[in-house]
Structure 1
Amino acid sequence: MCIGNVCRSPMAEGIFKQLLIGSEVDCRASSAGLHALVGRPPEPFACQLLLKKGIDISSYRACQINSGMIRNADLVLVMELNQKAIVEKRDPSARGKVYRLGEWGKFDVGDPYRKGIAVFEESLKLIETGVSQWLEKL
């Protein structure tokens, strides 16, 4: 596994997988949340916005990140800077491989959960930017 992705993960995972198709980057994207409601499907706005891009995340079900996922990932991307500290505290082996999705643009991706579609659209724009920047670096 090359990329482990944490939080607001269905959208980020979907974008990563779409952009990896046909790229020269040899890695796999998967996702989990820090406080995910296990088994819950993605928010309807997330499904709606990604479906417009040809990405179906409706079958995704939330799961919690665990030490096994962290140890098996070469890179763990979080959405907000404070999440980096949380992941590293949960599993010290994560140090040195946890970064923000917006690391290169120096931005956080706020959590759109239970907010309006405009917030989801803004999060998606930031996710697309972050994913593109990371794929350039990889």
Structure 2
Amino acid sequence: MTGGEVRFTVLTVCTGNICRSPAAERLICRDWAAGAPTIEVVSGGTRAMVGDPIQISMAHLLEQSGAYSGEFCAQTLTGELVHDADLVLGMTRRHRAAAVALAPAATSHTFTLREFARLVVDGADDFTPSEDRAASLRRLVDVAASRRAPITDPTLDDIADPYGQGLDAYQLAFSEISTAVDTVGRVLTGSPLLESASGVTAEPSPSGPEAPAPERRRIWGRRR
């Protein structure tokens, strides 16, 4: 949570609120809200392990990335949390649905994290960053909402729960979270995107044995 007068609140949601949503919360704090005291980032769980810290494997991954993992207590997702948020980011479609069920008025600004990153990239040409980070985030939410459309494989918008699994599962979840957060952050600041980073939930294109290997290129976003 940031100090000062809060003008924009981001809420991340998972199940236990000890792995995925706190990782997203801390990365968003670092990448979207750094130097912006008007932005608050919180998280909650649909079946939260209330009072628990961030799970140790995820905490290590956060620290290795340069994000802070301390001073965290898991909390239950409530209608008040959803109602007070300007952007709600579930880790899966079930978490998105759970948030909307608690506060239906939040539907227009509730997404999964990967869905939000995908839609932000899709609408990047209609977005111009500004020095006011809270206002920029508000515009990004509008851009993403205007780009909503069904995709062939909706599971691409989900981030699997690593809890109770091996380190590989935590690394995969963390990689998907950090890629999505970084992608949005780059659009938010007008920084260049690698194509591999911008396609956070891109559906695979048909290919055959004679299909050429995709060319790696850079996509350049607008600068301030």
Letter in 2 for 1:2: T
SS state at 1:64 partner = coil
Q: TM-score, normalised by structure 1?
A: 0.88
Q: Distance in 2 between matches of 1:11 and 1:83?
A: 15
Q: Distance in 1 between matches of 2:93 and 2:52?
A: 25
Cα RMSD of the aligned pairs, angstroms, is 2.0
- For this pair of structures, how many residues does the alignment match? 137
Indicate yes or no: 2:73 matched with 1:64. Answer: no
Q: TM-score, normalised by structure 2?
A: 0.56
CA contact (8 A) 2:48 2:74 kept: yes
Indicate yes or no: 2:105 matched with 1:93. Answer: yes
Deviation at 1:28, TM superposition (A): 2.3
Indicate yes or no: 2:135 matched with 1:128. Answer: no
Indicate yes or no: 2:164 matched with 1:114. Answer: yes
Question: What is aligned with 2:87?
Answer: 75
Residue identity over aligned pairs, in percent, reads 27
Q: Distance in 1 between matches of 2:80 and 2:180?
A: 25
SS state at 1:114 partner = coil
Could you say if the C-alpha distance between residues 77 and 51 of structure 1 is closer, same or farther in structure 2, counting changes exceeding 3 Å? Answer: same
Letter in 1 for 2:104: P
Stretches of 4+ moved more than 4 A in 1?
A: none
Indicate yes or no: 2:16 matched with 1:4. Answer: no
Which of 60, 84, 93 is the equivalent residue of 1:48? 60
Moved more, 126-135 or 67-76: 126-135
Could you report, residue by residue, the CA deviation over 1:100-120 in whole angstroms, capped at 9, with x for unpaired residues? 100134531111111111111
Q: Distance in 1 between matches of 2:77 and 2:64?
A: 28
SS state at 1:83 partner = helix
Q: Distance in 1 between matches of 2:179 and 2:55?
A: 21
Q: Distance in 2 between matches of 1:96 and 1:137?
A: 19
SS state at 2:164 partner = coil
**Which of these two proteins has the greater Rg computed from alpha carbons?**
2
Q: Distance in 2 between matches of 1:61 and 1:70?
A: 18
Q: Which one has more relative contact order, counting CA pairs under 8 Å at least 6 apart?
A: 1
